[in-house]
């Protein structure tokens, strides 16, 4: 897939901030149509379409409904322009009578292809944002779909389907005692059915009947699925880390370092696991032999894997080695047979990654970011794209 020249950090950040300003000025009951034009002559047709999709995604994540037909209530015209010193994203629309014009500038010097010169880049899609802590989320559309569809959000106090047509159906968790401080939660999808696990509670439901979701205690291990095999791990009772166990509940406990994050991949055409240990070391382990293939202490505590047409075919997404008070970043790596190879520049974020999960089929990873500037929790789909 060709890399969009417009999509460097400065231009995409400016476009997202412009979309946020638009969302703040339009009644969320209204349907919005977006048009994007380029007055600089630098964007190809495909890049214009990419920009439009990104802006529409940002608007939907903030509660607006976007349409592509004549049923719109508000038409927003967004233009990329330039002056002698900087480039400008400009939005024009009629909002209940008065004409509105919003401008988001960004520096001219940053508008180039340098961030895309490496072999891959991370394409992030914001699918939802809100001020309540998010543990995980899932898209109702199948993985091959171009858009996420409705978003199922796992909160610390319940599960909500972000569907205005169903009046945002939810199921609340009922507990006699407070949750631990550092919660872990995950959502798994199978067709229109879903399972959500939070600590030692598991809920099963269907997108069409969220209020009928059934939740019950569960004492078993968490299941981690990778290519051709799975592994099991127990969540620590006094922390947010996991302890390896065998491939079946009755198997002997595996003697490996406890981990915060775990993802499956293929290394040299064999199943393998990448884990971030509680002592600060990331470890690549062969699935069959359980031999350690490599270690690194340079990565952060969250990892995920995606299957692509780039490089060796499996890429690793890793956060940076920063604490929860610093802005995080995500970098793409791969195992080259004898070393970890960096395949991208760091994707800088506006906050810290609080959770990152791999898709069972090797599709886009899921990340939850706590935005330290706004205080919101943001749900992203992360795709790895090949650069030319």
Query: Which is more confident, 9 or 200?
Result: 200
CA distances from 186 to 130, 175, 199 (A): 18, 18, 9
Compute the distance between CA of residue 235 and CA of residue 351 in angstroms, rounded to an integer.
26
In order of 16, 18, 26, 66, the CA distances from 75 in angstroms are 18, 15, 11, 10
* Stretch among 17-26, 66-75, 101-110 having the lowest mean pLDDT: 101-110
| Dist CA 136 CA 128 (whole Å) | 11
Residue 379's nearest CA partner among 171, 55, 151 is 151
Q: Is the pLDDT of residue 113 over 50?
A: no
> Which stretch of 35-39, 89-93, 260-264 has the lowest confidence by average pLDDT?
35-39
Q: What residues form DSSP beta bridges with 163?
A: none
User: What element of type H or E holds 378?
Assistant: strand 377-386
**Is the pLDDT at 312 greater than 70, yes or no?**
yes
pLDDT band at 250 (very low <50, low <70, confident <90, very high): very low
pLDDT digits (tens, 9 = 90+) for 141-189: 987 777 888 999 999 999 999 998 889 999 999 877 788 788 999 999 9
Least confident of 78-87, 104-113, 147-156: 104-113
DSSP code, position 3 = P
Looking up tokens 């607006």 gives 64
Mean pLDDT computed over 288-316: 91
Q: Inform me whether the pLDDT recorded for 115 exceeds 60.
A: no
d(CA 61, CA 380): 10
pLDDT of residue 238: 75
Residues 229-249 pLDDT 10s:
889 999 988 778 999 886 554
pLDDT for the residue 2: 38
Residue 116 DSSP code: G
For the chain, domains (ranges, CATH) are 9-112 (3.40.50.10610), 120-386 (2.130.10)
At 3, is the pLDDT very low, low, confident or very high (cuts 50, 70, 90)? very low
Asked if residues 311 and 343 have their Cβ atoms less than 8 Å apart, the reply is yes
């Amino acid at each position: 897939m060709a890399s969009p020249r417009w999509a460097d950090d400065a231009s995409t950040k400016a476009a997202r901030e412009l979309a946020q300003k638009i969302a703040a000025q339009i009644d969320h009951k209204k349907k919005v149509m977006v048009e994007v034009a380029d007055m600089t002559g630098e964007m190809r047709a495909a890049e214009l379409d990419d920009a439009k999709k990104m802006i529409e995604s940002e608007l939907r994540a903030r509660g607006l409904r976007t349409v592509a037909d004549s049923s719109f209530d508000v038409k927003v015209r967004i233009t990329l322009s330039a002056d002698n010193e900087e480039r400008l994203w400009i939005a024009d629309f009629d909002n209940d009578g008065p004409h509105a014009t919003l401008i988001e500038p960004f520096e001219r010097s940053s508008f180039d292809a340098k961030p895309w010169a490496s072999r891959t880049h991370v394409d992030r899609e914001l699918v939802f944002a809100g001020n309540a802590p998010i543990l995980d989320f899932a898209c109702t559309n199948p993985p091959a779909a171009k858009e996420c569809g409705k978003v199922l959000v796992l909160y610390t106090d319940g599960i909500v389907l972000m569907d205005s047509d169903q009046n945002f159906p939810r199921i609340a968790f009922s507990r006699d005692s407070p949750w631990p401080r550092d919660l872990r939660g995950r959502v798994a999808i199978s067709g229109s059915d879903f399972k959500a696990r939070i600590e030692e509670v598991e809920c099963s439901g269907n997108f069409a009947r969220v209020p009928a979701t059934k939740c019950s205690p569960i004492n078993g291990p968490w299941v981690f699925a990778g290519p051709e095999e799975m592994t099991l791990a127990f969540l620590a009772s006094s922390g947010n880390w996991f302890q390896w166990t065998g491939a079946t509940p009755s198997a002997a406990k595996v003697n490996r370092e406890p981990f915060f994050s775990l993802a499956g991949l293929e290394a040299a055409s064999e199943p393998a696991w990448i884990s971030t240990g509680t002592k600060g070391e990331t470890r690549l382990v062969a699935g069959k032999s359980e031999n350690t293939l490599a270690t690194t202490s340079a990565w952060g505590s969250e990892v995920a894997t995606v299957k692509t047409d780039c490089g060796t075919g499996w890429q690793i997404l890793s956060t940076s080695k920063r604490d929860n008070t610093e802005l995080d970043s995500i970098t793409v790596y791969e195992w080259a047979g004898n070393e970890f190879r960096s395949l991208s520049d760091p994707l800088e974020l506006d906050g810290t990654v609080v959770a990152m999960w791999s898709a069972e089929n090797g599709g886009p990873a899921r990340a939850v970011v706590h935005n330290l500037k706004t205080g919101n929790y943001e749900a992203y789909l992360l795709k790895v794209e090949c650069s030319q």
